[in-house]
A and B are shown apart, each in its own frame.
Chain A
Amino acid sequence: MASLHRFPFAVVACSIVFFTVGGRAVRAQDSLPAATKLPFNAVLVLTPEFCATTFKQGSAWTTGRETFQVGKTACSELPTALKDAFTSVTVASAVPASSDAPLVLIPKFVNGHASTSALAFSNREMDVFLEWTVKDASGKTIWLQTVQGTSKHHEGNVFTHSHDVTLLARDSVKDVAAQSAAKMEAAPELRRRP
C-alpha cells in the first residue's frame, strides 16, 4: 500500500498533457455560396517554383524549426478545385503566349503563418494567402485577388507534432483552393469577359 502511495503521481499527471493527441481537423471558414460555372477555357499556371513553395517559422535553436509544404499540396489541389469553376482547366508549367489562352490563372503564395499553442490538445490555426493574377487573351490583368485559407489542428505532442504540421498545411491549402474557386465564380470582372 505504501509503495502504491509512492507512485510518481507527477508522471501520471504530466502524461495526461503529453499523450493527449490531436484529433480531427476543424475547418474554420465556410465556403462562399457557389455561383454558376464561368464559360471559359482557363490555363492554370503551376510553375515548379510555385509547387516547391514552403513556409518556415520558428528557430532551430529554441522552439524548433517548422516547415509547411504548401506548394506541393497546392499543385495537386488547385486543378481539382478550379475545374468546377470553369468550362475547362488546362495545367501549364509556364505562362503561355497571350494569344494561346483566353484566360490565364497565375497563383502565387504571398504569406503564411501558423499560430502556436502550449498544449498538445490545443488547436492552432494556420492562415495562407494566395495571390491570383488573372490575365485575358491580350495579356492584360483583369483580376488580382488575395485569397485566404485557414485550417485548425491540434498542436500535437512530441511524437505527433510533425504529422500535425503536415495536416495543418494540407488543410489550409485545401481551404484556400476552395475559397479561390468560389471567389473566381463570384467575381464580376471574370464573369463579364467575352
Chain B
Amino acid sequence: MRGMGRHVVFAGYNLCFQLTAFCRAGTVFDGLGIMRKRCILREFSALALLLFAVSGAGAQAFPEFPLQSPNDYAVSSQQGAVTIGLDPVEAPQDQLTYFHVAMASKGFLPLFVVIHNGSKLDSLIIDKAAITYGTEPPKGGPAVDNTPGQRAAFFTTAAIPWIGPFIAGGLAQSQSAVKQNLVLRELQSGTVAPGETIHGFLYIAIPKKGMRTKVHIQFPIAWSGSDKQSTLNLTF
C-alpha cells in the first residue's frame, strides 16, 4: 500500500502539472480568461477524484471467519479436557473472501484453529512457537513406514512460521490492509482459562504448484503451573 500510495500521489502531482501545462497552452492559443477558469475547475475535479480514489482504496472489509465448536470441524481431536478443531481454507475463492489474496499460489495454506479448554479447574497454555507440522513426501518419494512412533521420522517437521517473515518475502506486496489482516488474524500464544476457547489462523507452507500432500500438525499441551504435558496430533 505504501508503494502504491506514493505512486498514486506522484501520479497525482504529474496529473496536476500536466493539466496546468494544458491550460497554459490553451490560454496561449485562445487567450480567453473563461477557458482558463474551466481548466482550474478541471484541476480541482481531478484532484478531488484522486483523493477520493485513494481514500477508497484503503478501506477494505474483511469478513469474519465463521467460528464453530471444535468438535464441529471435519478435522478435530480430543485429549482429556482439550479439544482442537481445524479448518483448512483451501478454496481460492474463500482465501480471496477472507484474506483478499490467493495464498495457495504464494505457497501458504491458511489453517483456522479452534482450541477449547474443557477443564473445570486448570488453565491450558498454548505456545505457538512449540507447534510443529510436517508434510508427507509426494507420490514417488520414499516409502512411508506406518509404524506408530516411526512415522514422524519421514516428515519434515518445522515450526509454524510467523506471518512477519513472509510479509517481508513479498506476499501481498503493496497491500497494507491485506498484510494487517493476516497479522491480526494469526493465532497467538495464550493461556486458555477453564471453559474458554481461543482461535486464529496458522499459515502453513505448502508447495506452490501441484496437489498438496497430507499435513501432520502437533500441538503441545501444557497446563498452568504444572509439569503435566502432552501432545495432540492432527492430520488433514
Contact = CB atoms under 8 A, between A and B. Distances in A.
B125 interface: yes
Given A110-B162, A146-B188, A118 B20 contact: no
B40 A9 contact: yes
Which bucket holds chain B's interface residue count?
35 or more
Contacts of A13: 16, 43-44, 47
Contact of B13 (A14, A58, A125, A187): A14
B191 A187 contact: yes
A145 B190 contact: yes
A10 B5 contact: no
Interface residues of A, number: 42
Interface stretch (A29-37, A42-50, A84-92, A134-142): A134-142
A8 B27 CA distance: 13
A116 B55 contact: no
B5 A113 contact: no
B190 A146 contact: yes
A126 B167 CA distance: 15
Most A CB within 10 A of own CB, among B16, B128, B179: B16
Contacts of A8: 20
A127 interface: yes
Interface string A19-45: 000000000000000000000000000
B148 interface: no
Contacts of B189: 110, 131, 144-146
Most A CB within 10 A of own CB, among B126, B162, B184: B184
B17 interface: yes
Contact of A6 (B4, B24, B51): B24
A189 B27 contact: no
A99 interface: no
Interface in B92-133: 123, 125-128
Given A14-B12, A188-B123, A136 B162 contact: no
Given A118-B58, A122-B58, A144 B127 contact: yes
Contacts of B43: 9-10, 13
B165 to A, nearest CB: 10
A68 interface: no
B144 to A, nearest CB: 34
A57 interface: yes
Closest 8 A-B residue pairs measured CB to CB? A118-B5, A116-B2, A146-B188, A10-B16, A10-B20, A118-B54, A63-B3, A115-B176
19 contacts: A8-B20, A9-B16, A9-B20, A10-B19, A13-B16, A14-B13, A59-B3, A63-B2, A110-B188, A113-B164, A116-B1, A119-B5, A122-B58, A125-B180, A129-B183, A141-B225, A143-B191, A188-B193, A189-B191
